[in-house]
Chain A
Amino acid sequence: MNLERLPNEEKLSLCRKYYLGGFALLPFLWLVNVVWFFKEAFVKPPFTEQTQIKTYVKRSGLGLFCWVTILTTWITIYQHFRAQWGEVGDYLSFTIPLGTP
């Protein structure tokens, strides 16, 4: 879909859908939202729906940031301590690399 061909109202409703969809534990929707609508929100000359799009993009960005922080922290902790956790670590894992503790 090419955003250029879309009327502004539909842009807003699309952005809103992606923003709301992100709350269903789908941070990638927020990522798409931020990337996709960044130009519309911050670069394009002002239009009526832009303020709302801006809000959605900002909030998506914030949500995305939270997710990235949480996931990075968890993955670091997990990779670092999995072997030490022993049994718990194994049960938390989906695949365990062969030949490493």
Chain B
Amino acid sequence: SRNDQDHLLIQSTTLYVGNLSFYTTEEQIFELFSRSGDVKRVIMGLDKVRKTPCGFCFVEYYVREDAENAVRYVNSTRLDDRIIRTDWDAGFREGRQYGRG
């Protein structure tokens, strides 16, 4: 429900990151987002059919505060010459990495 969703977002340590270049790698994302704290994992968004990166990913932190700092200081800055944007995500579940690019 809406409430559950809000609750998840308030506690979340996961960010959705959009407007990535298709060529940007997990390593690059790791490096930039590690500058606000310890990153637990990066899940690359993949094209449903071709299984190649398609411009988004999820970044999960160990602690909330580090994710908050990423929203403050990484959101709307450049990675691979593109302005990336971050949004809170309720948490990654298997299957959500597939998109349309």
Asked if A pairs with B, the answer is no
Listed in ascending order, the chain A residues whose CB lies under 8 Å from chain B are: none
Please give the residue numbers on chain B whose beta carbons come within 8 Å of chain A beta carbons, in ascending order.
none
